[in-house]
Structure 1
């Protein structure tokens, strides 16, 4: 039943989004009927992939597999019956190399390099607006880029940022879509961002022909995997 529901959802996303409509990413709860499995330990050649260190328990649709990709690229592979369906990418940015984010932290009363209690309500209250401001800048940059690339052919529609746990960190889930003027989805992006006091973690995947990594080839498969990605993000070994 869960599989059928997700297939129907993917089909709806592909064909029934009205022109100019606001695109709202489904706010799924983690699937209750799916069994979690411990992260698969891969060969030593894969130790450079950060997913190997941070991936906690994984959840996936029936007959799908989720594991750190081979090699050193920071990619999480999603596959079924030996065929890769998509990848999720994580990028980690050191605070020392991100002046704009440091300024946002200082404006919120968070001193660079300070020891913080990540679970404290005070810290969460301080850091969430900073992460939301980061997302707003991210949206603005994408909207400007798409406007220059597509003009009026594509409508940029953003998903309201949502506070969510990312491992032991309090983070933000965000996303946006590019809607075709004649109907349908040109691209859809899903992201998570969190901050641990010294590093900014950005986890992304998408349905986007123009994206090289961190993407799904089919929108339907991204829609199916979406709630499982939410569950995986919440169980990461972060910080």
Structure 2
């Protein structure tokens, strides 16, 4: 099914990017030099790339390869015929160092540090409420930054947050894009966020010349890989 989607989407992109960008890339919003809401990053000891531990099944387009990048950087490499097409980045943040998210949990009815209960529908609803609040704050920060940077030349558009499985966790998929007034896409970002009781997982990739990591150089390749990314996120070995 994914391969059929890949072929159809590839054909559409050839004739419709950038003219049809607003249809291929539904409501999305833009990020550049700004970072997500302030959180302390979990140190990455000499344990190698975290993707080596959490990567599950990886369905990919024909002749594409997906594997943890070499080294300790938390990057997933997507390539074809020896050429790197893009990367997906995962950052892990400890709850203990994140007072902002602790407050979001409390507002949702969860006491920080309490035992996580992934099977409890009430607990899942409370976690999703906190994650949606995180995404809302995330969107607001990027929108403010883009209004200053782009003015009226670029339209900042956000994708409605969606509840999705991220491994065995329930998380939120979100995204945003910068759409040029004269047609075309300035930038597009796709993210997933989940919480396991002690850590927040943020998985991101983008089409954005301003991004250093977690990016695709070509919008077409990001669009082709998008449904595969969704499937990969759903099959991650989370929680660890």
Aligned-partner SS, 1:77 = strand
| CA distance, structure 2, for counterparts of residue 80 and residue 23 of structure 1 | 23
- 1:6 paired with 2:12, answer no
* Cα contact 2:193–2:203 (8 A) shared by 1: yes
- 1:16 paired with 2:8, answer no
| CA distance, structure 2, for counterparts of residue 218 and residue 2 of structure 1 | 18
| CA distance, structure 2, for counterparts of residue 96 and residue 116 of structure 1 | 15
Q: What is the aligned partner in structure 2 of residue 117 from structure 1?
A: 117
| CA distance, structure 2, for counterparts of residue 87 and residue 17 of structure 1 | 22
Number of aligned residue pairs: give it: 218
Normalising by the residue count of structure 1, what TM-score does the alignment of the two structures yield?
0.87
* Cα contact 1:22–1:157 (8 A) shared by 2: no
Report the CA distance shift for 1:16/1:22 in structure 2 as closer, same or farther (over 3 A): closer
Q: What is the aligned partner in structure 1 of residue 136 from structure 2?
A: 136
Shift of 1:23: 4.8
Runs of 4+ deviating beyond 2 Å: 1-4, 8-15
Report the CA distance shift for 1:87/1:96 in structure 2 as closer, same or farther (over 3 A): same
Shift of 1:13: 4.3
Shift of 1:24: 1.2
Report the CA distance shift for 1:22/1:83 in structure 2 as closer, same or farther (over 3 A): closer
RMSD: 1.8
